[in-house]
Amino acid sequence: MIGLLKGMATTMKHALDGKTFTVEYPETAPEVSPRFRGVHKFSQERCIWCRQCENVCPNDTIQIVMDDQRNGEQYNLHIGQCIYCRLCEEVCPVDAILLTQNFEFTADTKDEFAYNKEQLKNVPWYKGIDPLNSRNPDRDAWIGEGDGEVDYQ
């Protein structure tokens, strides 16, 4: 009997302290880590069309189309198929593709998730966090010396 009463006392304690653990989601947007990996942001100005991201992608999410002079024409990324492993960002030598913290994306059909380079460019920062800053300390290990300022717009 004591055990049963202890259990009931525990739940009653939780009921009476009035604290809640859940949050009201759209009103209270969650704090996400700067390392969080959300929808990609792409900068054509920075991209050198080396196709490393396309090669490293584990499930062929990135598709790059180039003309015969090896100039980039299309950069397509299916954000509904992506597994958000961040390998593309990791191999990119010029920080042309970054994963923002933006995790809120919706579409009516799956096809709408196939983003082209314009759509990828227009992906907003989440709460204005530029993930590059927070990831910078360790990026040198991957991409060598960066050249400072990055402009994605």
Pairing type for strands 97-99 and 62-66 reads unpaired
Give whichever of 28 and 153 is closer to another protein, judged by the CB atom: 28
Q: Which residue lies nearer to another protein by CB, 85 or 114?
A: 85
- Least spacing, CB of residue 108 vs another protein, in Å: 23
Q: Which amino acid is at 146?
A: G
Query: Hey, how many other C-beta atoms are within 10 angstroms of the C-beta on 144?
Result: 8
Question: Which is nearer to another protein, 66 or 142 (by Cβ)?
Answer: 142
DSSP string, 66-118: E-TTS-EEEEEEETTT-----HHHHH-TT--EEE-S------SSGGGGEE-HH
Nearest distance from C-beta of residue 99 to another protein, angstroms: 9
Shortest separation between residue 44's beta carbon and another protein, angstroms: 24
Which is closer to another protein, CB of 2 or CB of 65?
A: 2
First-residue to last-residue Cα distance in the chain = 67
Mapped onto helix, strand or coil, the DSSP state of residue 52 is helix
In the complex, least distance from residue 28 CB atom to another protein, rounded to whole angstroms: 11
Which residues form the interface with another protein (CB under 8 A)? 1-4, 6-12, 14-15, 19-22, 24, 32-37, 56, 58, 83-87, 90-91, 134-135, 137-138, 141
